[in-house]
Structure 1
Amino acid sequence: MTDDLQVATGLAPPKAFDAACRMVVDYLVRVVPLDTWAVTRVADGQQTVLVTADSGFGFAPGLSAAWAGSMCRPMAAGRTPRIVPDTREVPELERLASEAAAQGMQIGTYVGTPIVTDEGALFGTVVGLNREPVDPTLVDQEPLLDLLSSLLSSVLEADTAAVDSARALERAVSDAETDPLTGLLNRRGWERWLEREDERFRRFGDPATVVALDLDGLKTVNDSEGHAAGDRHLRQTAAVLRSVIRSTDPLARLGGDEFALVAQVGTEDADQLVDRLREALDAARVPCSIGAAPFTVVGGFPGACAEADAAMYEDKRARRDGGRPTPQVPHPRPTLPTA
């Protein structure tokens, strides 16, 4: 009897948001054939492609553009229709299409609908584009668009809740991954966190910044005042870092005088965070060399960590040579004119 209650794997609904996005895009390509369909994430002033089926615009996962210039922005604000068979007939979209044309992108048709969180905030969009205007009967697909948007919003809510529960469990069993001196994650805990979260951040396109820090002068403290003083120096550094970042942001002592953290903020807020970290550390007389780099869907956390380490060592060399530049988080260059 139990065999009769089993559902074939291919018939089970998707539980992960990225799988649901892929299913929706593939379905739209078959049912409403446009030159491009995509699911995007909107965060930190950028619109980033998560999943796409593209046959003419050059869209690919990880590519992004400024949200301010996106056709989806007036749609999400309710100023323009969600389905526009001819962008020349809607003044605001006509203007945006002209700006895109100046960059070599012709947009004759726009389709878009928001994906919202359980709190009603904008998460991203489902968007379709065509180079040429299409038949006005395209507007008849609005109920389908509503259905698919609701599907993705529901899967997003369920997947986010599952991820939050998994994170809470992981924090509860992390004693073996804690540095006993500072109470921070140790290197093993840090590497496991990055490995777990890399797939999750890529799935949702969440903004994040990796910050690498190296405590200046610890050897001098150990040599002149003893290792007990050096330990106090390390604990003080950990306390200062905790006081600046959010309690949910992972913070690790990787060994010796090396620290690292992931702040779940985009590049604009990350610049300010780096400034606050430097000011707080200097005020507490535990100065650090600092480097930071943004998480990207393409490079993931491995790429961001490598860039942050390189920036930190560059900062250390500059400080050693008498300069004191404030490291700025690299800002990804927009690669999609409008979406």
Structure 2
Amino acid sequence: MSVNNESPGFEARANILASEALGAQLKVLQLFLPTSGWLISWQEQANWNIVVAQGVFTEVPADHTFDLLDNGWGDASCIDRFYYRRVMPDEMPMFGEKPRAGSPCYLIMANLKDPDGIHVGRVLGFSHDEPGAVLLLGAPKLFLCLTAMAFTVALRKELRAAEKMVVAMQRDAFIDPLTGVLNRAGWVDRLSQIATQSQRTDDDAAIVVLDLDFLKVVNDTRGHAAGDDLLRRTAQTISSVLRATDAVGRLGGDEFGVVVQHATPDMAAALLGRLKQALAQVDIKISIGMALMSEAGSLKKTVHLADERMYQEKRRKPTPARNRIDIDRTLANTKNTFN
């Protein structure tokens, strides 16, 4: 079954917008605290992600940058919200520098925190000059720069969380909670997608409609929980023989539908055979109808044709009163709610 549960490119767009905003904010920071380079990283699940790198940091490998972000700050000097320390001799080659006695370089670091005080990122700078005096003189303006950066990082995080919530809500709106397959709304949406794609590519599609034969009998004799178990097993069995690009939906109380993209007559016939075999192996009695879009003219008409063929097959079967053996097999493989 294929369910569209992600918003294509949203995270990439959010990252691009955040990177552009943070890049502009770094340029403002550079006006107040000139350095040879800056970078901004945000932290997710204890992992650093480099968002923006300017100046010398564009040449520093990512793994070395992560070491610089994490290590050596225990004894660093602190002015307001900024920490700074000398670059270690073994760190100098990262910046294309050779250790020189009497000419130290400095790393400058500041944590980015959201309005709740939660650490969301870190700013790192590289300077050839000791930054203490500039940090003291420019503290108010530098604080505003950090606040703007932290707000941007936190906003990106909130946007991603909100988008994930919307995507989850959309997914849930299209999923049948009992069986885990598409509900009717999800089925209609999937058909609409395939119909649009088929118009562009002229690819054929197949529809299979399936209707359980004895769901009412199971509900009446074993209870609705047993009927629910039968519906779940049916959905699982159907799903087990489908490709990732196929979709299955629960269309009504005891009716399921399968839509197959890029179908050929042979492919559709093979799928029909797999469905019948898989359902028979678990003693699920079901009526099936199948149709190709190429024979019906449109996907909507294909659904109607498959539905008609399913009912033709159902009418040819014995009535429940004369079909005791199949009923008993279905009941035997369905959980008794009183056990």
Q: With the length of structure 1 as denominator, give the TM-score of the two structures.
A: 0.43
Larger Rg: 2
Q: With the length of structure 2 as denominator, give the TM-score of the two structures.
A: 0.43
